Structure 1
Amino acid sequence: MSNTPVIAAVDGSEHSLKALEWARAAAVRHGAALLIAHVLPDHAQLYAGRRASLHDPAQPGQFADPVEERIRALLGGGPELPDGIRYESLEGSVPEALRVVGSGARMLVMGSRGRGGFATLLLGSNSRAVATTAPCPVVVVPHAERSAAGGGEAGGAGGGGDPYGAAASAGRVVLGLHAAETPDDVLAFAFTEAAARGTAVQVVSAYAVPPAPTMVIDSPFAVIPPEGLADEGDGVPAEREMLRAQTERLAPYRERFPDVPVEQAAVPGDAAGRLVDTSHTAALVVVGRHHPRRRPRSLLMGSVANAVLQHARGPVAVVPALTDDA
């Protein structure tokens, strides 16, 4: 079993329990341990601090964690958790506590919205803060209402039909790639996930020069294999240059993961909207955390990662630059 755990952040809400299911399956796929982490609410932390300061032996030694009791009931019903799974109660603010525990983790999985916030909120403040600051990849699993909603409002795709070729992404790991500047860690995460799932990686990049309006409106993007990049093809020059840049950047990963099929797609202009569209059917959408022109260690999230987190209908992995040379 891998010594780099998958972490599931839970707060007892149905949203976090859905994320726990996703994390448990990921731990099985990767042969990794599963750590279930719950950041205690403020009143529990205040109680612990008060008891420690008063040194009152008459008070209970610990504040009962009802979330732990629920998790144990869900996973086995007994006092012992199944092998390879442990539970940990954390103190501090949610982003900071999860940032600390996430150091060295394979990934940290959480729901898109917890107990607090508005019912219509697409992304909770804690989910966004953790995705922005955690030292490991963060997978955000959307809540049921968001994942079940129709595609008409996502990414400006319009209602009905199969927007921008979303069906072509069914079951795949979709990678948002800036061919020149996305860190290697992001590509490695996407290919590792696809290999563990036994599925393909679909690579989506955007180019700046738009084609004619008739090509943009209600037209699916093309998924093109490398052998389809002959000079006499019909693609617009900017699209063909983007596909060639993709092919060059992906070459080491094709060699490293020879059993993972790769599909390439170049789209005009709006990378975030197209990635949101693919999220309806993709197994996972993978994006880098930072804007490619920002410092790798910046605490600001890039606009593409932020937009995909806000609107995706399926799980999204936000991957930071994990190495100094990434």
Structure 2
Amino acid sequence: MTHPMVIAAVDGSEHSLKALEWARAAAVRHGTGLVVAHVLPDSVQLYAARRSSLHDATEPEDLADPVSERIRALLAAGGPLPSEVRYESLEGSVPEALRSIGAHARMLVMGSRGRGGFAALLLGSNSRAVATSAPCPVVVVAHEARGVEVAAQPSAGRVVLGLHASETPDDVLRFAFTEAAARATTLQVVSAYSVPPSPTTLIDSPFAVIPPEALVGEDENAVPAEREMLRSQSERLAPFRAEYPSVPVEQAAVPGDAAGRLVATSNSAALVVVGRHHPRRHVGSLMIGSVANAVLQHAHGPVAIVPSLSESD
């Protein structure tokens, strides 16, 4: 196929099967193919290496992959399938193998925990490693221990974008608009503005969601910093709203750190989208921005961590 495919990383765990269902629906929405990727366990890889070194002609050339066989059966019994489904059994470490296969993917989808995770952890080490460094957007689908699950339909809810108006790369905005368009849903854009500390600040107060048309006039009740942030949002979003005229956009400005608000909205969002790196970080750094890290660790629903093209290059 000419279009980049959606990749689902599976290991047979319930977390990865939930991610597989999300990826299947995403591939159908975007009209692209689905690659189901399974990194073979170390024991199987060691056996294959030993067999190869001994040149034992009596052993079969292809190793049986019970995970792939189970996945084939599950997909066959499930909902509509993409026009192309391909299965890949990979060798190497999980992060390296998935980074390699994700080089030209539309997105790579994985569960927040695998078979080896401790029950108390919200995010497995492999999920973090891949989200931190993959060359394509990585969608991490939260497991049930995080609380509320989004509605039954995979496309239910709005797409939420965490935006720093002057720093978030265009690739992140385009991914969010594309997802909202594919779902025929609203894109809610959340940005944070700085406020001086005050004993009267209500930390848990709800933020206001403002449609762009409401920004034409001056709101005397708006905090100047909030008003300026909303105007900066509008300027940054303008070319994307022109490119995606069918996507309704809601804008929200919040005091302080946006991470907590993004985590809160993840309870009812179909997807939360954030950029991976702060632009001032070194591109090769394995660290992700503080907002992306907080959302990835604590979100109640699917999170897309989107690199910029310069990072991928």
Among the aligned pairs, what percent are the same residue?
76
1:293: how far off? 2.1
- Aligned partners of 1:196 and 1:175: how far apart in 2? 15
What per-residue deviation string (whole Å, max 9, x for no partner) do you get for residues 112-137 of structure 1? 00000211110000000000010000
Maintained 8 Å contact 2:274/2:304: yes
What per-residue deviation string (whole Å, max 9, x for no partner) do you get for residues 206-241 of structure 1? 111257544423310000112222224311111111
Q: 1:280 is paired with a residue of what secondary structure? A: coil
Structure 1: give runs of 5+ residues left out of the alignment.
150-169
Aligned to 2:153: none
Among 241, 244, 254, the alignment partner of 2:241 is 254
1:321 paired with 2:308, answer: yes
**TM-score if structure 2 supplies the norm length?**
0.92
- Aligned partners of 1:49 and 1:298: how far apart in 2? 33
Aligned to 2:218: 231
- Aligned partners of 2:3 and 2:182: how far apart in 1? 17
1:324: how far off? 7.0
Q: 1:76 is paired with a residue of what secondary structure? A: helix
Among 212, 228, 231, the alignment partner of 1:244 is 231
**TM-score if structure 1 supplies the norm length?**
0.88
Q: 1:45 to 1:288 in 2, by over 3 A?
A: same
1:102: how far off? 0.2
Aligned to 2:268: 281
Q: 1:300 is paired with a residue of what secondary structure? A: coil
1:199 paired with 2:185, answer: yes
Among 242, 245, 251, the alignment partner of 1:264 is 251
Aligned to 1:176: 162
Structure 2: give runs of 5+ residues left out of the alignment.
150-155
Alignment RMSD: 2.0
What per-residue deviation string (whole Å, max 9, x for no partner) do you get for residues 222-264 of structure 1? 0011222222431111111111110000000010000101100
Q: 2:33 is paired with a residue of what secondary structure? A: strand
- Partner letter of residue 191 of structure 2? S
1:69: how far off? 1.1
Aligned to 1:139: 139
- Aligned partners of 1:262 and 1:293: how far apart in 2? 28
1:127 paired with 2:123, answer: no
1:195: how far off? 0.2
Maintained 8 Å contact 2:135/2:312: no
Q: 1:86 is paired with a residue of what secondary structure? A: strand
Q: 1:293 to 1:200 in 2, by over 3 A?
A: same
Query: How many residues are aligned here?
Result: 303
Maintained 8 Å contact 2:284/2:311: no
Query: After the TM superposition, which of the residue ranges 208-217 and 173-182 deviates more from structure 2?
Result: 208-217
- Partner letter of residue 143 of structure 2? H
- Aligned partners of 1:130 and 1:313: how far apart in 2? 19
Maintained 8 Å contact 2:109/2:138: yes
- Aligned partners of 1:232 and 1:36: how far apart in 2? 51
Q: 1:210 to 1:275 in 2, by over 3 A?
A: farther
1:19: how far off? 0.2
Maintained 8 Å contact 2:296/2:303: yes
- Aligned partners of 1:263 and 1:109: how far apart in 2? 26
What per-residue deviation string (whole Å, max 9, x for no partner) do you get for residues 48-76 of structure 1? 11111110112232332110110111122
1:102 paired with 2:97, answer: no
Q: 1:295 is paired with a residue of what secondary structure? A: coil
Q: 2:277 is paired with a residue of what secondary structure? A: coil
What per-residue deviation string (whole Å, max 9, x for no partner) do you get for residues 167-189 of structure 1? xxx81100000100100000000
Q: 1:325 to 1:98 in 2, by over 3 A?
A: closer
